Each structure stands twice: as structure tokens, then as C-alpha cells.
């Protein structure tokens, strides 16, 4: 690591590395979801329904996934055809569309979630806990700065409140799916565990 | 930041934050490229041609972008129709396809690059340099661990050599596009500069 890395260079290298890391992690998840008969996009919609509670509005799903309402509508269309979600319109305001999981989706979701979480945990397990917290914090800073670029009027305090709610949901989820700190799945790589503090 | 954040929770929060940060930064870039008449995917192919040198093989472009050869072929098809790239087959091995930029692409590429880089620099400018280096390093660790998940036979030393080559290319690019540490574009937000060490 060169300490004298110029600021413009560092920015570009960070952007490139964020792209690589995200794309690789996504590719790894794609493989898992495919084995469970889901695309990553479909899985993401099912996750959002778990976090937001069902039925959820398309606009809320889109917001949670940081995507456009239009693109989520198209994914939901295909999911209705695949028998993964049900769609219902609000009785008062017909423009509002609610989405909920079918029992087929429920049965695919649990094993896909267990395996995907185990893989994320396995990938991140060699990173010391302290470094993980640093990474979470630094990515947060980049996220807030990017939000200002996408939307100048953004209320960072509101975003932080949303994050607290989300963190609570993740905690609930970890308990619900019985995820422990030491995942015991076929994905685990033997005893090659690093000692972390 | 809770210090006692459980490891499973931390992993999921990191994965979620990586998704959010990448997606937001991409959305910000999408807006810029759209203004320049390019999709982000098309721009990414043009970037790869700049890094790899032209003409470049589709397989090398796909590898550089961590995408499948098939998906890059489809993007290139559309780019040929849009007059952005030329395609040529290898005279000896007809299966090998080479891609190079047209003059139309060249004329769109430079301003799009300048503005996109300025936006990335602007977004990352409030992050202290030292923290940026830490983030680069930590994302690198996540990337290496993910590579092991995607491909168990991966040679991390070879990946690191590739990264050194890429870093040299980024340096060359920063010079070529005259990018400085203090971008002066319409994107810069007045005097709201944070004091960073």
C-alpha cells in the first residue's frame, strides 16, 4: 500500500474495488439462488418482503432496494407468473399495489436464505471483527456522501434512523433463522478458521 | 456503533451496506452517463477498452468486468448497432472476436469520463485519505475471500499482480485525463469542504 497514493488515483481505485467486490459477492450469491430456483433479483424482492412485512407496497420495496418503482414492477410481474408472489390493489387508492409471498416462495426462501447467509458469513469470517466494524463504518460514510450526490435534499439523520430500524430487523432475522456465529453448512471450509479478536 | 455486534449480524449488515453503497454510486454514475448518451454498461465496455488497449478480445473484456462472455457479447451487439464499437474476427481463429471503439465513442467517452471521475472524486473527497486507504485494503480482503468462494482454485498472487497492473493503468489514466486532486467542475459543492487530515 503506497501512502503517497494521489487522491484522484485513490478515488478511482476505490470505485473500481467497490465494483469488483460487489460484483464477485453477487456472483457468488447468484450461484446459490440459482440452485434454489430463484434469480438474485427475485430473492431480493422476497428479502424486502421479510424486512418490510407483508403485504408491502411496490414503492416501499423499490425504495428499500434502492431501485426504481418501474424496474421492481417488472420483476414482480415475472414473479407473479412464476407463482412466487401475489399482487393486490389498494381498495381505496387503486394506484397502490401490494405484494405478498406465496407458499411456494416461502418454501424456497428459507433454505436459500440459510445457504446464502452461511456463504456470506464464511466469506467474511477471516476478516477480524474489529476490521469488519471499520469497514461497515467507512462504507457508511461513502453511502452518505453518495446519497448527497443522488439527492441534494437528503436527510442523513432520517437515513440513520432507517438504518437503526434495519439493524434491528437483521438481528430479528438472525434469531429467526437460527444463524449462529459459527455456520455449520456444507460451505464451511474445514478448520481453516483464523483467530479473530 | 455497537462493539458487541454479533458476527452473523455484522456479516449481514456488511453485505447489505456493500449493496447499498454500490447501488447508490452506480445510480449516480448512471445519471451522468445518460446525459452523455451512454448506458453505464456501454461505458464500462469503453473503459475496459481503454484499460486493456484496443482491439481487445471479448473474453478479456468480460474477465476485466467480472461478467460472463455471453452478457458482454450482447452488450457489444447493441453497441455495434449504436455505432459505438467495431467488431472484427481473428483471421486465424475465427472464434476470437476483437472489439475497438469508433470515433463516435471516443468523442462521447472523454467528457463522460471527466464528469464521472469528478463526481466520484467529489463523493469521496470528505473521506480522509488515511481512511480511504483503509477502505481500499479492507475491500481487498473481502474481494480475495469472495474470489475463493467463486473459484476455489484462484491464485491470489496472480490477482495481486493484476491489481498492480491495474493501479499503474489508473495512474496513467489520471494523467491522461488531467485529473487533479481538486476537481473543478459544475459538480463541486461550493465551499462546503470538510477539514480532513
pLDDT tens per residue across span A136-190: 999 999 999 998 887 777 788 888 888 888 888 888 877 777 665 444 444 443 3
- Domain assignment of residue B67, yes or no: yes
pLDDT at A64: 86
Which of A19, A22, A50 to mutate to test binding with chain B, by most B CBs within 10 Å of its CB?
Answer: A22
Beta carbons of B131 and A141 less than 8 Å apart: yes
Q: Please report which confidence band the pLDDT of residue B178 belongs to, taking 50, 70 and 90 as the band edges.
A: low
pTM of the model: 0.76
- Domain assignment of residue B164, yes or no: no
Tell me how many domains chain A contains.
1
Instruction: Using CA coordinates, name the residue in chain A closest to B170.
Output: A9
Task: Give A 155-174 residues with CB within 8 A of chain B.
Answer: 166-167, 170-171, 173-174
pLDDT tens per residue across span A112-130: 988 988 889 889 999 999 9
Chain A environment of B41 (Cβ under 8 Å): none
- Domain assignment of residue B190, yes or no: no
pLDDT tens per residue across span B21-78: 998 898 888 889 999 999 989 999 998 998 888 899 999 999 888 888 999 999 999 9
- Domain assignment of residue A142, yes or no: no
The reply to whether A67 touches chain B by the CB within 8 Å rule is yes
- Domain assignment of residue A134, yes or no: no
Reported ipTM exceeds the 0.90 cut: no
Q: Which residue has the cell 449462529?
A: A180
Q: Which long-range contacts (CB under 8 A, 24 or more apart) does A30-36 make?
A: A31/B150, A32/A112, A32/A115, A32/A116, A32/A119, A33/A112, A33/A116, A35/A115, A36/A108, A36/A111, A36/A112, A36/A115
- Domain assignment of residue A159, yes or no: yes
Cβ atoms of B131 and B113 closer than 8 Å: no
Percent of chain A with pLDDT strictly greater than 90: 44
Name which of B128, B124, B34, B183 is nearest A15 in CA terms. Answer: B124
Chain B environment of A150 (Cβ under 8 Å): 24, 27-28, 31
Range(s) of the domain holding residue A77: 7-124+155-176
> A137 CA to chain B: closest CA distance, Å?
8
- Domain assignment of residue B181, yes or no: no
- Domain assignment of residue A1, yes or no: no
Count CA atoms closer than 13 A to A4's CA, side-chain side: 0
pLDDT at A163: 85
- Work out the number of other CB atoms within 10 angstroms of the CB of residue A77: 12
Chain A environment of B15 (Cβ under 8 Å): 25, 120, 124
pLDDT at B5: 65
Name which residue leads in pLDDT, A10 or A173: A10
pLDDT tens per residue across span B112-147: 988 988 889 889 999 999 999 999 999 999 999 998
Residue from the list A16, A66, A167 with its beta carbon closest to the beta carbon of B13: A167
pLDDT at B186: 43
What CATH number did the domain enclosing B72 receive? 1.10.10.10
Amino acid at each position: 500500500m503506497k501512502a503517497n497514493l494521489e487522491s484522484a488515483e485513490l478515488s478511482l481505485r476505490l470505485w473500481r474495488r467497490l465494483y469488483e467486490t460487489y460484483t464477485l459477492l453477487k456472483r457468488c450469491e447468484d450461484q446459490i439462488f440459482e440452485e434454489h430456483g430463484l434469480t438474485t433479483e427475485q430473492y431480493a424482492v422476497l428479502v424486502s418482503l421479510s424486512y418490510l412485512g407483508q403485504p408491502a407496497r411496490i414503492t416501499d420495496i423499490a425504495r428499500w432496494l434502492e431501485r426504481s418503482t418501474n424496474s421492481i414492477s417488472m420483476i414482480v410481474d415475472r414473479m407473479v407468473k412464476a407463482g412466487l408472489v401475489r399482487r393486490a390493489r389498494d381498495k381505496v387508492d387503486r394506484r397502490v399495489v401490494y405484494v405478498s409471498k406465496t407458499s411456494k416462495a416461502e418454501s424456497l426462501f428459507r433454505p436459500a436464505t440459510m445457504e446464502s447467509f452461511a456463504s456470506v458469513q464464511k466469506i467474511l469470517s477471516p476478516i477480524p471483527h474489529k476490521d469488519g466494524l471499520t469497514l461497515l463504518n467507512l462504507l457508511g460514510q461513502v453511502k452518505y456522501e453518495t446519497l448527497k450526490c443522488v439527492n441534494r435534499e437528503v436527510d442523513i439523520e432520517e437515513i440513520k434512523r432507517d438504518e437503526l430500524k434495519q439493524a434491528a430487523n437483521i438481528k430479528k432475522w438472525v434469531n429467526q433463522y437460527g444463524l449462529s456465529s459459527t455456520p455449520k453448512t456444507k460451505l464451511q471450509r474445514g478448520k481453516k478458521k483464523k483467530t479473530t479478536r
